[in-house]
A and B are shown apart, each in its own frame.
Chain A
Amino acid sequence: MNAIVISALLGVVMMFAGLLFKDSKQVQWAALIGIMILMGATIFDNQIISTQGSKTYFNMIELNSFTSWFNVLITFCAMLYFFLFHKQIALVGRNEAEYFALMFFILSGVFLLSSYSNLLILFIGIEILSIPQYILAGSDKANVKSTEASLKYFLMGSFSTGILLMGITLLYGATGSFDIMSDKFTAQFIQVDGMSSLAIVGILLMVVSFGFKVSAAPMHFWTPDVYDGTPTAFTPFMATIVKVSVFVAFIRLFHFSFGSVSHAWQVTIVSMIALTLLIGNVTAVYQTSVKRMMAYSSIAQAGFMLFAIFAVNATSWKAITLYSVSYTLASLGVFAVLIKMKDYTFDGFNGLAKKHPVLAITATICLFSLAGIPLTGGFFAKYYVLMAAVEQGSMLWIVVFAVLMAAISVYYYFRVIMSMFFKQGDAELIEQPTTIEKTLLIINAAMIIALGILPSVIMK
């Protein structure tokens, strides 16, 4: 609960920081100190929950051990993002204080999404998460693509919000309650036969709106344009931290409340998985820009995370935690190198290994993790999601299909590696990486490998 309040307050403080500090460096420092305070707050929350057990606030928010631990992890990732990208964030436009403020508001939405117990909070969380993103997407005002991304995201986003509201309304109509933990609510979802058609349609609408937010096919069309058009400093934040927190909201509702009627919605999820993996991976192969490739890769990775929604068991929760963290770390690492490049195409990376071995090697470890090579966090992330699906027992074909798609993903991830290591070229950077940045990248890569050796350290 502290984290939610403090993140919102920090957002307000950061807005005023723009007035107080004239120097961009000072604003950046304020943001970095802010995120560290937030980190402390989530750790404090986690401490309280682990000693006193789950806590419910106003029948709206329920913090349990999973949620509070997830908040710690996601805030840690956000902190890493701030440290890696703060300079580039400040370079996007003149309003750096506002960008940081918006991101603190987004984090507040993230915390609401990970701990809601009431559909109203879910709705508010999704909106707090989304509206600042529309602004961030369009923050590079001189760039038409950025404006296009913002408008596209806003239009499609509002549309999905409408569907979400409709879904919530129908669920309310079926159950007479917004509280997903209450007996009144869960009583409607004990077995498929007893469900009203209102409830079934409501669930499906929820699937669609969540699917939109996590960019699952066929609701993924906005993703490549938005991720590509958004200033590169913000894309990793949107593609990782925001996305995985929506997944946590997704799994929370579907496993807590709709878990016993999984037969009603699993087929929909499975078709979404198949389509998402197919479209994400196959389209990524044809990209020439690494940034756009990463956008499609984020669709493909969402396909894997959907397995955790599909399989209703305890392994799914472990899987979603590990997948969130390892996917986030790996993507941040790739984007941190990408943002240094002058040319975002694959050819722009030619010969990077010779000129900047640290950048090339850390990026390679991140790409290995995204491809799911052992000894990286990405391997165990994929391991756990597939394990969850195998434990589920039904529809094993989708697991085989998924690994075949993972083999396709090797193609586009390794294209970057091939450019960096095996091709001759003169990879040009915008600016030389500082020692601090290199150290951060090495730490990031080391964490990915640590997760590949001992994944159990971050799973509760």
Chain B
Amino acid sequence: MLLIILILVPIFGGLVSFLSKNNSQLPALGASLFTLAATLFSAFTYYNGHTPIAIDLTWIPSLGANFSLNINSGLQVLMLALTAIVFPLVYLFLNNKELENKSTFYGLMSLAQAGLMGVFLANDALVFYIFWELALIPVYFLSSMFGGENRIKVTFKFFVYTFVGSLLLLVAFLIIYNHTSNHSFAWTSFVESGKSMSGSMQNWMFWLVFLAFAIKMPMFPFHTWQPDAYEQSSTPVTIVLSAIMVKMGLFAVIKWLLPILPLGVLHWTNLVTILSIIGIIYASCLAIVQTNIKRLIAYSSIAHIGLMIATLFAQNQLGTQGVAIQMFNHGINIMGLWLIVLAIEKRLGTQNLNEMGGIAKLAPKFTIALVLISLANIALPLTNGFIGEFMMFNGLFQSTSPYHIAFTVVAGLGVILAAVYTLGMIQKVAFGELKNSQVVFADLSINEWIVLIIIMGIILWLGFYPNVLMSLVS
């Protein structure tokens, strides 16, 4: 029942938000806070003794599909916690901001949360697939309704890309399902069925499954929708996209690909690793030359995700644990960065880095948050980003691939490049000459400051004391 609440409460909050005329943020905020409490409760239940929480209801018996949810791994706990943390913080940050079509916005945001929770909870392939698609629909509407000039076109490109991937995933699931001995969609049956497929079959099945995830993450060269979509969506929606939705892809690889098609994964490991490492370097270089702050962060996200993919395919315990930790931390950090961008947008009305500068003098609180979160984004020790990145490089180095040294070295370049573009960004935004002297840059308001303090608190807490995460994922 607890797990169903995690999905139902946001849906309910969303529906109330749709119908309410004024103060439509309250139902969404209330639902998200309640969800946060329920998530933390289930996280502690799981944490104290590692007992899985599961629910299994008969849904379509003739298909062998059950409405089956569970929390069975630290990764799931982390992803649920991330989702549960991001939404209330975004709502809180937006609290005193003008918004058109407020009730639609909050309604759709809540529904998106419900979909995302479902993806991370699902333990039945059909349930997983349905939530996977459902999470997309509210985000599609959000991105198309709120955002930049080209948003409709760009969002549609994003939608079609991911939809193609999803449909191929559906075919793959149908084939795996048809191959199960007991005609069931349960995760365990899928693992057994996938493993029993012949090597050559797994080799082509791999792409049917992986394409959907690769597009969502996104992995080079399937990333082309991402910078445009991030740039054109309104920033709160970008947060949902980049902090949580891209994690769906990584999460799905860990749960629905690696254990199910092991031979296929092994066969394509080198190709995928090479592609993702190209992605790291390529995206980092592009990030350096961006003048639009949203595009810069978008490319930086591709680079970070690239390292996570490469490590996942190295397939060793340390690396995979590092990825799980980094998925959570990257979500927190990138949310912080986007909130900073949102604050700049609201005050300066621009995303162009060349029109910014000198904010540090006017807004010390803002600058503290900017610097700390940016440093966490480049994985400085004593921030939360460090531990995950350290474990990932360690894992990548221990990969059984004959090219593991080359992989690690080239991927390591990404860290240096990350420092280049991130520090460049800090410099352009906060320091130097004040570009537009007419602009009065107000420092953070109380609600913004509280949200960023919470984020910085998480960054430092997990930076000093990463053991919390370690014991959860081991």
A407, B156: Cβ atoms closer than 8 Å? no
Please tell me if A396 contacts chain B, counting CB pairs below 8 Å.
yes
CB distance from A210 to the nearest CB of B (A): 26
Please tell me if A15 contacts chain B, counting CB pairs below 8 Å.
no
Please tell me if B284 contacts chain A, counting CB pairs below 8 Å.
no
A411, B160: Cβ atoms closer than 8 Å? yes
A418, B152: Cβ atoms closer than 8 Å? yes
A455, B171: Cβ atoms closer than 8 Å? no
Bound-state Cα–Cα, A447 to B63, Å: 21
Neighbouring A residues of B174 by C-beta, 8 Å: 383, 386-387, 390, 399
Neighbouring B residues of A400 by C-beta, 8 Å: 168, 171, 208
Bound-state Cα–Cα, A406 to B167, Å: 8
CB distance from A174 to the nearest CB of B (A): 35
Max chain B C-beta neighbours (<10 A), residue from A400, A403, A406: A403
A403, B170: Cβ atoms closer than 8 Å? yes
B175, A383: Cβ atoms closer than 8 Å? no
Bound-state Cα–Cα, A212 to B270, Å: 50
A399, B159: Cβ atoms closer than 8 Å? no
Neighbouring B residues of A399 by C-beta, 8 Å: 171, 174
In the complex, residue of chain B having the shortest beta-carbon distance to the beta carbon of A423:
B152
Bound-state Cα–Cα, A79 to B284, Å: 61
Please tell me if A454 contacts chain B, counting CB pairs below 8 Å.
yes
Neighbouring B residues of A387 by C-beta, 8 Å: 174, 177-178
- Contacts A373-B133, A375-B134, A459-B62: A403 and B144 contacting too (C-beta < 8 A)? no
In the complex, residue of chain A having the shortest beta-carbon distance to the beta carbon of B143:
A422
B168-192 near A? 1/0 per residue, CB < 8 Å:
1011001101100000000000000
Bound-state Cα–Cα, A454 to B130, Å: 13
Bound-state Cα–Cα, A396 to B201, Å: 12
Bound-state Cα–Cα, A399 to B173, Å: 12
Q: Which of A391, A404, A410 contacts B159 (CB 8 A)?
A: A410
Max chain A C-beta neighbours (<10 A), residue from B152, B159, B167, B177: B167
Please tell me if A176 contacts chain B, counting CB pairs below 8 Å.
no
CB distance from B204 to the nearest CB of A (A): 10
Neighbouring B residues of A383 by C-beta, 8 Å: 170, 174
Bound-state Cα–Cα, A421 to B108, Å: 14
In the complex, residue of chain B having the shortest beta-carbon distance to the beta carbon of A455:
B60
Q: Which of A374, A403, A418 contacts B171 (CB 8 A)?
A: A403
Please tell me if A456 contacts chain B, counting CB pairs below 8 Å.
yes
B164, A390: Cβ atoms closer than 8 Å? no
Q: Which of A406, A411, A418 contacts B144 (CB 8 A)?
A: A418
Q: Which of B60, B137, B156 contacts A373 (CB 8 A)?
A: B137
Neighbouring B residues of A422 by C-beta, 8 Å: 144-145, 152
Bound-state Cα–Cα, A306 to B120, Å: 36
A387-404 near B? 1/0 per residue, CB < 8 Å:
100110000100110011
Please tell me if A414 contacts chain B, counting CB pairs below 8 Å.
yes
Please tell me if B431 contacts chain A, counting CB pairs below 8 Å.
no
**Residues B6-59 near A (CB distance < 8 A):** none
B163, A410: Cβ atoms closer than 8 Å? yes
Bound-state Cα–Cα, A414 to B141, Å: 11
Bound-state Cα–Cα, A418 to B151, Å: 11
Max chain B C-beta neighbours (<10 A), residue from A368, A386, A454: A386
CB distance from A420 to the nearest CB of B (A): 11
Q: Which of B61, B134, B160, B208 contacts A374 (CB 8 A)?
A: B134
B178, A386: Cβ atoms closer than 8 Å? no
In the complex, residue of chain B having the shortest beta-carbon distance to the beta carbon of A453:
B59
**Residues A330-344 near B (CB distance < 8 A):** none
B175, A390: Cβ atoms closer than 8 Å? yes
Bound-state Cα–Cα, A96 to B171, Å: 47
**Residues B133-170 near A (CB distance < 8 A):** 133-134, 137, 141, 144-145, 152, 156, 159-160, 163-164, 167-168, 170
Please tell me if B282 contacts chain A, counting CB pairs below 8 Å.
no
Neighbouring B residues of A454 by C-beta, 8 Å: 60
CB distance from A409 to the nearest CB of B (A): 10
In the complex, residue of chain A having the shortest beta-carbon distance to the beta carbon of B140:
A414
A421, B171: Cβ atoms closer than 8 Å? no
Neighbouring B residues of A411 by C-beta, 8 Å: 160
CB distance from A383 to the nearest CB of B (A): 7
Neighbouring A residues of B164 by C-beta, 8 Å: 403-404, 407
Bound-state Cα–Cα, A374 to B130, Å: 6
Neighbouring B residues of A407 by C-beta, 8 Å: 160, 163-164, 167
B129, A374: Cβ atoms closer than 8 Å? yes
Q: Which of A368, A386, A418, A455 contacts B170 (CB 8 A)?
A: A386
Bound-state Cα–Cα, A142 to B473, Å: 74
Neighbouring B residues of A404 by C-beta, 8 Å: 164, 167
A391, B178: Cβ atoms closer than 8 Å? yes
**Residues B301-355 near A (CB distance < 8 A):** none
Neighbouring A residues of B134 by C-beta, 8 Å: 374-375
Bound-state Cα–Cα, A374 to B163, Å: 11
Bound-state Cα–Cα, A4 to B246, Å: 56
- Contacts A414-B156, A422-B144: A456 and B62 contacting too (C-beta < 8 A)? yes
Neighbouring A residues of B133 by C-beta, 8 Å: 373-374, 379
Bound-state Cα–Cα, A418 to B145, Å: 9
Bound-state Cα–Cα, A368 to B60, Å: 21
A421, B144: Cβ atoms closer than 8 Å? yes
B171, A386: Cβ atoms closer than 8 Å? yes
Bound-state Cα–Cα, A375 to B175, Å: 21
Neighbouring A residues of B129 by C-beta, 8 Å: 374
Neighbouring B residues of A456 by C-beta, 8 Å: 60-63
Bound-state Cα–Cα, A9 to B224, Å: 62
Neighbouring B residues of A406 by C-beta, 8 Å: 167
Bound-state Cα–Cα, A375 to B136, Å: 13
Neighbouring A residues of B160 by C-beta, 8 Å: 407, 410-411
CB distance from A320 to the nearest CB of B (A): 16
Bound-state Cα–Cα, A399 to B170, Å: 10
Bound-state Cα–Cα, A239 to B61, Å: 32
In the complex, residue of chain B having the shortest beta-carbon distance to the beta carbon of A418:
B152
In the complex, residue of chain B having the shortest beta-carbon distance to the beta carbon of A392:
B178
**Residues A358-400 near B (CB distance < 8 A):** 368, 373-375, 379, 383, 386-387, 390-391, 396, 399-400
11 chain-A/chain-B pairs, Cβ below 8 angstroms = A368-B137, A374-B129, A374-B133, A386-B171, A390-B174, A390-B178, A403-B167, A406-B167, A407-B164, A410-B159, A456-B63
* 19 extra A-B contacts, CB within 8 A, seeds A454-B60, A459-B62: A373-B133, A374-B129, A375-B134, A386-B171, A386-B174, A387-B174, A387-B177, A390-B171, A400-B208, A403-B164, A403-B167, A403-B170, A406-B167, A407-B163, A407-B167, A410-B160, A411-B160, A422-B145, A422-B152
Q: A-B pairs with the 9 shortest C-beta distances?
A: A403-B167, A374-B130, A407-B164, A374-B133, A390-B174, A422-B144, A422-B152, A390-B178, A456-B60
